[in-house]
Structures are given as C-alpha cells and as structure tokens.
Structure 1
Amino acid sequence: MTIEQAEVESTADRRELQRRTLNSLRLVTVPGQAAVAGMVAVVTLLASDLLGSDRLAGLGSASFTVGAALTSIPLAAFMRRRGRRLGLARALAIGAVGSAIAAFGGEVRLFPIFVIGMVLFGAGQAATLQGRYVAADLAEPSKAGTAIAAIVWVGTLGAVFGPLMTPIEKTMAESVGLDELVGPFVVASMLFGVASMIVMVRLRPDPLAVLGTLDPDAERIRPLRQVRLSAGVIAASAPARLGLAAMAISQAAMVGVMTMTPPHMKDHDHADLSAVVIAVHIVGMYGLAPVIGRQVDRVGANRAIRVGAVVLGLGTVSTVAAGYVPALMFVGLFLLGLGWNVGLIAGSTLLTEAVPVDARVEVQGTADLTMSLCGATAAFGSGFVKESFGFHLLANVAAGLAAALLVLAWFTSTRPVRPTPSST
C-alpha cells in the first residue's frame, strides 16, 4: 500500500478525494484554456502576416497541434512512472516557454522561430487535454462522463475569456512597443506558468498513486513501440476504436473549419468580428459540457457520439449553406463547437471504459497523439484547401467526416460490447 493510499483511507473517502481533485483541476483548466483560446484567436492571422499569404497560414495552428501530439506519448509514459502531478506541471511549464519563444519569433519576424515556439506551446495544450483523463481516474464508473464533462465545462471560463481579452492584449503589446499580434502569446506564457504552479501545489495526493497504478520502475519503452502496443489494445475492442474515432474525427473537422474562419471573415471585411465568432464557438465547445456529460452517462456513449456527429455536420453545413452570412457564421461555429464537445466527452468516456485499467494511461496518450495529429493535418491542409478551392469545400469535407463518424457509430452499436478487463 502506498502512502497516498493510506492517507486516503485514514483521512477521507474516495469521493472526497475526487471532489478535491476536480476542484484542483478546475483551477488549472481556467488559465490553461485561456492561454490556448487567446492564442487560437490570433495564431492564423500572425502566421499569415509573417508569411504574406493564407496558403501556409495553417502552419501556426498545425505546429502547436503537432507539439501536443509529440508530447502525448512521453507525457503518458512519464506520468505512469512519476504521476499526474509532475507530468502536468512540467508540460505546462514547457508550454509557457514555448509561448514566449513564439512571441519573440513573431516580434522579430522570423517564422521558423515562431514555429519552434508553437511546437513547444503544444506541450501546454497536451497537458490541458490530459486533465479530462485525470478527472476520470478516481470517478465512479457510472459517473466517468460527468467527471470528464466537469473539467471540460470549466474550461469555458478561460476559453471564452481568452479571445475576448485579445483586443486588450493587442493594445497592451502596442503600448510597450511590440507587434499587437504577439500580445496574446505573452499573456499565454504567463497563464501557462500560473497553471503549472497550481498543479504542483494543489494536485495532492496524486490520483495514480491512490489507484496504485504508478510504476517508478516501468520500462522506458520507445514512443513508437508504445504506440504499437496501445494501438493493439484499442484494435482489440470495437467500442475503443469508436471512442478514438469520435475524438479524432471531431478534432479534425472542428480544427479545419475553425482555423480558416478568421481569414475567411477577413476576406469579407469582418476581421474584428472573427474574435467574437471564435468566442461563441468556444462557448459551444465547453458551455454545455455538464449537460452533455450527464447525458453520456444516461444514454450511453455510442448514442451520444451519433448525436454529436449530426450536430458537427449541421455546424459545418451552416457556415456555407447560404454563402457568406455573418449570422450563420455564429450559428455554424457554435454548432461546430458543440459537436466537438459531444465527440470529445463521449469518445473519451467510451475509450476509458473499453480498455484494461493497467493500460489506460498509455492508451489515453496514444489517443491524444492520434487526435492531435488529425487536428494538425486539418490545420495544415486547411489553408491549401481554402486558397485553392474555397472555404466552402473545406466545410463540406468536414461535413463528410461527420457523416462517416455517424455511420461508424451506428455500425458499432449493432455489435455486442464486451466488459472491460479488470486490473490484475
């Protein structure tokens, strides 16, 4: 028995510890999401400004998504050995450094430095994403979706606050002689730093130590081998495959359309309005998470994924249904965020339930790697598609992905679900 396990048994029951853990994660998620959302509102515009074209502007978003992907597996392996607390704190600190480097690259007009900073920024994004799994570590099996949703939802505060603060951050940057577009990156660096300190102070005892799944002597498996091992675990379970697909497809569809929305609106002389549209989009991404989490637990993750696929498709179609109509951009981006929310919560819940306890941390890292790579591919390709074929084709491709997810979920629902193997 570990010290952490003994402490729980002697001072508080598991439910009380879960409440404390969720409260700690809430305090971390707000500044973490504010950092990411504030950056998202301007990253494509800054990349376009540095390059002088929208064609490669998606590289900014793609870089930090690639960074999140590259961090996912090492972060999961580190947490298996050292715990959630140290892993999240270090990843957030790396994100803070990366944001500062990106700001420097933007200020000196060196795109390669900007890209390096954005890759490191991705470590902070990876840590923010991993928070939802930490919420589920100590949750009762029947309440895993609600626990995940509790952390996704509180991100609304930071995620909405970030883009809405963008004009102020731009003004602050100009007031000290910096390019206005680097202001949000400077603030993001500080926010990630705050989140890292909160994790170190508050996330005690470590959830994995309480569960008894920490293994300080675990073999340091190479990332590619770890991906292969985790992929084998996922491949053995149809529900796990669907959970991964829901997260990956929702991420790709959402990122592809969202990334090119500011340039698309700029083309129609509504660049200033794009930050508000992104804020509404982020409300859709996080605002209804508590309701969605309860519904996932009530109706089942598979049915929730089907609903999410429909909402995701409606969101993408709305952005191009009647040409460029500002009001439809608000509606479409809100539904796009809402569909992503359902896919993330239901997919994460289904994946967590469908794999053995002893393999969950590594599988979760592989899932986030896959999700991030899909998002990076969508972000990178979105600029090419928009410039070559138009925003409408980009939205239609995203709608096609949503339709594919709906078909997969329907097909999977006809198969019997095997119970999750127990930890030995």
Structure 2
Amino acid sequence: MRDQEPGPGPAGRRLTTQEAAELLGVKPETVYAYVSRGHLSSRRAPGGRGSTFDAEEVEALARRNRRESAATSGAAGELSVRTRLTLIDTDRYYFRGVDATELAARHSYEEVAEWLWTGELRPGVTFTAPEVSVTAARRAVDALSEHVGPTDRLRVATIAAATADPLRFDLSEEAVLGTARVLIPTLVASLGPARYTHRDQGSVAQRLWRQLSGRSADGAALRVLDTALALLADHDLAASTLAVRVAASARAHAYAAVSAGLGVIEGPLHGAASGLAHKLIMEVLDRGDAGPVIAEELRAGRSIPGLGHRLYPGEDPRARVLFDLLEEIPDSAPALAAARDIAATAARHTPLHANVDLALGVFTASSGMSYTAGETIFAVARTAGWIAHALEEYGERPLRMRPSGHYTGPKPPQPLPE
C-alpha cells in the first residue's frame, strides 16, 4: 500500500516509525512490511522525511498480534494455528465446513483442490502443466540415481519447476493459484519415463495411474485413486503442513513451501506409512495367515502399520470410504481379506481400527503398484492442501510461526573450550 495523503477531517494522534515499532514490539523494517501487506496505512511526515502512523490503527494491530500470539501458543504447550480449511471432529472431518468424504465421493480431486483454495467449486476443472515446467522437472529428475525414492523425485521436480517460473516470488493469491494448477501436473509428469509429456491428457488420477501401474485402469480403479487423492488433500496441521506454514510465514514462495512439506512427508510416521502397510499385506498374502506376521512385528517391538490414528478414536473415515470402493473391484478381494485378517488379529492385542494407510496399502497391492506408490499418492494429493495453507499464511502477520526456545543448557557465561 502506498503512503496515504492526509484525508479531510480532524487528524488523530500520529506516531513516528520508531514509536510504532516499539508499540508493536517489532523492528522498524517490519512496520513497513505491515504497510506493504495492507495491515497499516502511513503518511509522509512533515518535510517528507519518514512516515507517520495513526496511533489507534497501530494499537489495534498490536492487540490483534497479541491475540494471535495467544492463539498460536495453544494449550498444554501444543501449537494451535487458526485456520478456515479443515476441521476434524470425532470420527469425521470437513473441508471449509463441508463433509470431506461427501466432497470426495461426488467431486474430482481437482474440484476438491479448488474448493480448498478458493471456497468455490469449478465443475470439470483440469490442471495442465506447460512444456517448460515439465521439461525442467524431467531433466532434473532424470539426473538422479535410479534408486531414489518417489519423494526425492517430487522434491527435485518441485525445485526444478521453480527455476522455470520467473513469477514464483509473486505471493498474490492469483499468482499462487496459478502455481498450484501448474505444479501438481508437473509433479505427476516428473514421475514417469521421458516419453511422458504435458501433452498427455486426462485427470490427475488418470495421469498418475499411468505412472504408477503397468496395468490398464478401469473406471472402478480410477475412481478409487481419484477419491483417495481428494480424501488426502488436507488433514489439518499434520507435520508436513506445519512445515509448509512455517515456510510461508517466512514468505517463502509456493514451490519452496511445498518443498518443505515434501521434506517432512518421507518419514515412516507420515507419508511412508502406507508403504509399510503394503509390505505387511503382501507378506500376509504370501504366508496365508496374519497370525505369524503380526507376532513377528510385535516381537520386534514394532507397531502394526495401518492401524489406529491419534485423531480418530474410532474408524478413520478415509479408510471407510476407500474400503467400500475397493469392495467393488474383484482384483482387490485377496488384499482386502488380508487387511481384515491383520485388523482382526491385531485386535486381540490392542483394539485399533484400520486407518487410511491400510486402505492405500490394499489399493496399491492389488493394482500392480510398487509399495512406494502410496507415498506418491499421498504427496501428490497433499500438495493441494499445502498450497491452501500457504495461501492462508501469506495473509497473516509475517514470521508469526516463530516460537521461542526453552533453553536448558549450561548457565552462561561458560569459559571458552580448550
């Protein structure tokens, strides 16, 4: 926002830049950042040296910042961030107030992504990546070792696509939405052989199936994949989403924010969990009984992958939807039976319900996909949610995601080490 000329009417109390900074508890440079983001208005000081700020406006912003700081600190030491995107309530979850499972059942992944980003549905919307973006991503990914995992490929593709976008530093909503609609199909294109180009047509689910499975996809299988993408698009402040918001709080561009999410998602407690469930299902199918497989997992001190979720005391609603759809696919019957055997056997040890990772494991195991395919599906799907959270964070106070450390080291001053 440009400095404002004085308007008509009695002038209120004005503050210098230094006074405004002291009241807000920030550096003078941050005061001007507030002006550029539209959070404060300013006027040229008499003589044209420096700026002045309306005291009541500055005080109102200071009160707002204190409220946000209190909300971010949360209860019992847990981080809490205000968001209008996803609500998890008992055993259901909602995207912008609408039941997410119903959205996923009735709308494509692309349509659900648009709903998360804008609060509007765009029936029939498709995402297309320009050749320059795909070429940059493919060239970078092709240089990697053949043994790298899917998340490595996606992370490198994201960085490469950023270098091909000269407008990546534009954080306006319109520009970030344009980035999102290009980045998702670029990520899908980066997963496959060099012959895969931007000219391939179809939905994200259709393109992703061609990258993950050597089989032809029928309508029922594509519906499972498209629904899985929509269901996984967002899930409140998961670890990867928090990383995205921290990056966006520092005003990293959208590609960098997504890269931050990809850096977290690779862990076995997050995006890679479905791969562990896939392997477990395949082992049960190979041995014909979940009993000895579960016994070995427990003996090794490992938790059973695909069971339980800290946010759902009962059934994971995402798993329920996917299992219902998988029932309609004959090829899924053996893997479904193995998953039920796993859940029933483990229930004798601890009463945990199947979660979405087990459902993804059934899907990938019965679709001729690698055990890493679930991680890929998860990452591509969640990119939509990461962009939505980045957009929210760009509208907040910069660097608000900056907690203070609780120092527990030696009391200073300590002598220099010998």
Q: Considering the TM-score relative to the shorter chain, is it more than 0.5?
A: no
More helix by share: 1
What is the TM-score with the length of structure 2 in the denominator? 0.28
> Larger relative contact order (C-alpha < 8 A, sep ≥ 6)?
1
**TM-score with structure 1 setting the length:** 0.28
